[in-house]
Structure 1
Amino acid sequence: MATVNEQRGVALVVSLLFLLVVTLISVVAATNSSRSFKMAANMQDRATSFQAAEAGAYAALGLVDTAHDPYRRVNELDPFVGIATNVHPLRNLPDPNAVNVDVFVVALDRPCPRSVAMQGGSSFGVYDCEYYRVESAHRSEGRSRTQVQLGVVKTIIGSAGA
């Protein structure tokens, strides 16, 4: 009789150990699954933030030759001020106010970049270039933030062409 009771005790201990192992495996699997969801959400936030910042930089490019042209030889902080909400370039973003765009003058009245094939042409010195830096930053509090910088070269009639 003692051997039957001992066998029942051993079977109980083995089954409890088996349940413990299965429980640990399921806890680890649930943790990994949760972590995967968080990583996927972070990747989505990062992509959305980058796209919003990039949209801000390209929207500043879209203002060329408009009443709100930010490339006027001065630093332009927030070139979208004064644009009506229904025609605002960033109106289709989930939160247009989360994108901050600034345009900075880098250099004025400088030679334009020319390829080797264009060296020695008759228009040399006729055109000058203005160099600008567009900084677009997207910030979603507690989620993500991205900054994009874009260089812009504006060709103008230079001093030799005036």
Structure 2
Amino acid sequence: MVRHGFQRGVALVVSLLFLLVVTIVSITAATNSSLGLRMAGNLQDNYESFQAAEAGIYGALALAGTAEDPFLRVDDATPFAGLNATTTHPLRSLRDGVGAVDVRVTVVALSRDCPRPPGEEGGSSIGIFDCDFYRVRSEHDVAGKARSRIELGVVKTVVGEAG
């Protein structure tokens, strides 16, 4: 004869243990999902910051040879100062606005010998061409998000001694 009175509480204990395991798995999955979303958001902020800083570099390079040329043998902390922020500014399409990118052009050396292309033999440009060396630094910084800084060396060739 089988005694059923002994097994009446086992089903309850097994179902509670199963419910506990399912709850732990669910909480772990939700935590991992939340962490993944935060990591993806931080990566997106990082990429946007880098692209904004890179846009500042390209914007400064685009001004070369224009009326707002920042490569005129002086340090320029505001190369975009003479541009209209809504129509002609090269950074007007940034998501967080023109003011989030700080671009500076610094003179490194003036009237130096120009670097020669690799593999070029013979001839000399000394006394004919001089080179001015600049550093363009672009920083993107928005509070609570990623920030980036990019620096680029620029060489400007000038005919003879420019000054």
Q: TM-score, normalised by structure 2?
A: 0.91
What SS does the aligned partner of 1:87 have?
Answer: coil
* Gapped regions of structure 2 (runs ≥ 5): none
Deviation (angstroms), 1:122? 4.7
What SS does the aligned partner of 2:119 have?
Answer: helix
* Gapped regions of structure 1 (runs ≥ 5): none
Q: How does 1:63-142 map to 2 (within 5 A)?
A: 63-85=63-85, 86-94=87-95, 95-142=97-144
Name the counterpart of 1:154.
156
Tell me which protein shows more helix as a share of its residues. Answer: 1
Aligned-partner residue type, residue 29 of structure 1: A
Bigger CA drift: 111-120 or 76-85?
111-120
State the aligned residue count: 159
Deviation (angstroms), 1:74? 1.1
Residue 58 of structure 2 corresponds to residue 58 of structure 1: yes
Q: Percent identity?
A: 55
Q: Distance in 2 between matches of 1:149 and 1:47?
A: 17
Q: Distance in 2 between matches of 1:57 and 1:5?
A: 81
Bigger CA drift: 116-125 or 133-142?
116-125
Q: Distance in 1 between matches of 2:15 and 2:118?
A: 80
Q: Tell me how large the CA RMSD over aligned residues is.
A: 1.7
Residue 8 of structure 2 corresponds to residue 8 of structure 1: yes
Deviation per CA, 1:68-108: give whole Å up to 9, x if none: 11111111002111211211111111121100000011111
Cα distance change, pair 5–143 in 1 and its aligned pair in 2 (3 A): farther
Name the counterpart of 2:43.
43
Deviation per CA, 1:115-155: give whole Å up to 9, x if none: 35334315333101000000000012101100010110000
Q: Distance in 1 between matches of 2:5 and 2:38?
A: 49
Name the counterpart of 1:34.
34
The structure 1 segments of at least 4 consecutive aligned residues displaced by more than 4 Å after TM superposition are: none
Q: Distance in 2 between matches of 1:9 and 1:116?
A: 86
Aligned-partner residue type, residue 99 of structure 2: N
Q: TM-score, normalised by structure 1?
A: 0.91
Deviation (angstroms), 1:66? 1.1
Deviation (angstroms), 1:31? 0.7
Q: Distance in 1 between matches of 2:109 and 2:30?
A: 56
